[in-house]
Amino acid sequence: MCLKEIRPFACVCLNAADTVDVRGQWQRVVRVFTCLTPLIEAHRASQALILALGGSERLLLRRTTPGGDAIDQVWPLLAQAVAQLLIEAVPPQHGGQSVGVVGLGPTRTLAWLAASILSGTDTAVVLPGQERAFLAPLPVTLLQQVPDATEIVSLANMVAALEISGIRTLGQLWRLPVEALSRRFGADGGLLAALASGSDLRSLRRVENAQWLGARLHFEPPLAAQQLPLALGPLAERLALTLAQRELAVGKVALIIESDAGTRMQALRRLKHPLGTTRALLEVTERLLAGMLADAAPNSEAGIVPDVPLPVEGERYVALRLRVGGLHPATAEQRRLWAVEQQQAGVERIERMTAALRALRGGKYADDLLRADLHAPDAVLPEERYRFTPRQS
């Protein structure tokens, strides 16, 4: 098997106890590996990075000359090269103790597991073809620590049920057919079987460089205060679509209003629970706007931090801006909410179109309506793709 056939992933886990400057250490490590590959998934709480090394092998091995391009020769050298970069980013302390460990494998899950079980060594490599031998003795409970565990909502309950049944290792779990797991646990049973085999349940989520995302509306002519709430919906919908596309949730929401007199009002809310749907963003921004325009006192319990010159009676507004921060990967539940919201939005759009057509049919323009039928979908000119005929009463 050649190097070009399978691309490796590396998991870099830091030992936070080795330094008091945990935040500075994390930032240095992220900066160093971002120069190596832009395909990095960050897990700040676990002090771990997952790197997609496909295409970066030659850069990593520039100081080494492998005996060939076979994976069993090259991958151990890749793991050592990544470990050396980690040492250069954060020199060892406390008598030369390592600042972290590196696991290498053909999937993100296998790389993570390889790094998580290391003790006394700095690197571990799981070669293609050796997955089952590596995974078989590992405890099933270890699956709850891998990044893709969040894709299985009932994972903790399934692991507990398997423990009661005496199934404690991945090797024992493999003896159960996927069909049996699906019958017992539903769709999550199939996901559990895939995760237990070392497979990834989703693609790598890149580090989000932007600290904030925003959307802005400019009003011409300027709006009165009572008209501003109507503008919040489009802003929330636009940002929620961006968050869904990037699979991000937010921890902070800021609303900024600019008046025609040049004054600017701003309020920030720090959220106790991450959100990202249109409905949730709209609820937060409506409360922020109401507090700002009503000259409300700061609400410390809600996490609202106003920064205003207070609104002037009769003032009109030329711009409204919505910003979200505290960005981090969305959970499986948040992605499910996006899917439900998008489906509902599609239903509502169809209902609005139906209502509009119904009104036209009964109005004075009924005779002007045309029926559009798909005629030549591959035509170059858009007008040739459809055939328009008078609507039949």
Summarize the confidence of residues 67-79 as an average pLDDT.
Answer: 81
CB atoms within 10 A of CB 26: 18
Predicted local distance difference test score (pLDDT) of residue 112: 95
- Give residue 92's pLDDT: 67
The band of 381, judged by pLDDT with boundaries at 50, 70 and 90, is confident
Q: Is-same-fold flag (1-135; 137-205)? A: no
Asked if residue 302 has pLDDT above 60, the reply is: no
Of 299-308, 320-329, 340-349, 363-372, minimum mean pLDDT range: 299-308
Query: Mapped to the 3 state alphabet, what secondary structure does the chain carry?
Result: CEHHHCCCEEEEEECHHHCCCHHHHHHHHHHHHHHHCCCEEEECCCCEEEEECCCCHHHHHHHCCCCCCEHHHHHHHHHHHHHHHHHHHCCCECCCECCEEEEEECCHHHHHHHHHCCCCCCEEECCCCCHHHHHCCCEHHHHHHCHHHHHCCCHHHHHHHHHHCCCCEHHHHHCCCHHHHHHHHCHHHHHHHHHHCCCCCCCCCCCCCCCEEEEEEEEEEEEEHHHCHHHHHHHHHHHHHHHHHHCEEEEEEEEEEEECCCCEEEEEEEEEEEECCHHHHHHHHHHHHHHHHCCCCCCCCCCEEEECCCCCCCCEEEEEEEEEECCEECCHHHHHHHHHHHHHHHHHHHHHHHHHHHHHHCCCCHHHCEEEEECCCCCCCHHHCEEEEECCC
77-81, 87-91, 148-152, 177-181: least confidently modelled range: 87-91
Higher pLDDT, 317 or 295: 317
| 363 has a pLDDT exceeding 50 | yes
Residue among 52, 51, 49, 8 nearest 28 (CA):
49
Q: How far apart are CA 219 and CA 320, in angstroms?
A: 8
pLDDT value for 284: 93
Lowest mean pLDDT among 28-42, 96-110, 356-370: 356-370
pLDDT tens-digit series, residues 169-180: 999 999 999 999
Residue 274: predicted pLDDT: 81
Identify the CA nearest to 178 among candidates 151, 147, 199, 204. Answer: 199
Which residue would you say has higher pLDDT here, 44 or 80? 80
Domain edges within the chain: 1-135, 137-205, 212-332, 367-393
Query: Which CATH number is 137-205's, of 1.25.40.10, 1.10.3720.10, 1.10.150.20, 3.40.50.620?
Result: 1.10.150.20
Q: At residue 206, does pLDDT exceed 60?
A: yes
- Whole-angstrom distance, CA of residue 145 vs CA of residue 141: 8
Which is more confident, 156 or 343? 156
Band (pLDDT 50/70/90 cuts) for residue 369 is low
- The vertex-200 CA angle with 194 and 205, nearest 5°, equals 155
Task: Identify the band that residue 210 occupies on the pLDDT scale cut at 50, 70 and 90.
Answer: low
pLDDT of residue 292: 84
Q: Mean pLDDT across the chain, nearest whole number?
A: 81
Question: What's the rounded Cα separation, in Å, for the pair 159 and 167?
Answer: 9
The per-residue pLDDT for 392 is 62
**Looking at residue 172, what is its pLDDT?**
94
CATH of domain 1-135: 3.30.70.270
Percent of the chain whose pLDDT exceeds 90: 33
pLDDT value at 340 more than 90:
no
Q: How far, in Å, CA of 185 to CA of 189, rounded? A: 5
How confident is the model over 25-44, as a mean pLDDT?
84
Q: What is the per-residue pLDDT for 127?
A: 92
Please list, in sequence order, all residues whose beta carbon lies within 8 angstroms of the beta carbon of residue 171, skipping any fewer than 6 positions away.
135, 136, 137
pLDDT at position 195, please?
Answer: 95
- Mean pLDDT value of segment 77-97: 79
Q: Look up residue 46 and give its two tokens.
A: 């676990």
Alpha-carbon distance of 37 to 53, in angstroms, equals 7
Provide the whole-model pTM. Answer: 0.59
Instruction: Name the band, by pLDDT with cuts 50, 70 and 90, for residue 144.
Output: very high
Where does the pLDDT of residue 203 fall: very low under 50, low under 70, confident under 90, or very high at 90 and above?
A: confident
Superfamily the domain 212-332 falls into? DNA polymerase, Y-family, little finger domain (3.30.1490.100)
Closest to 88 in 3D by CA, of 144, 31, 126: 31
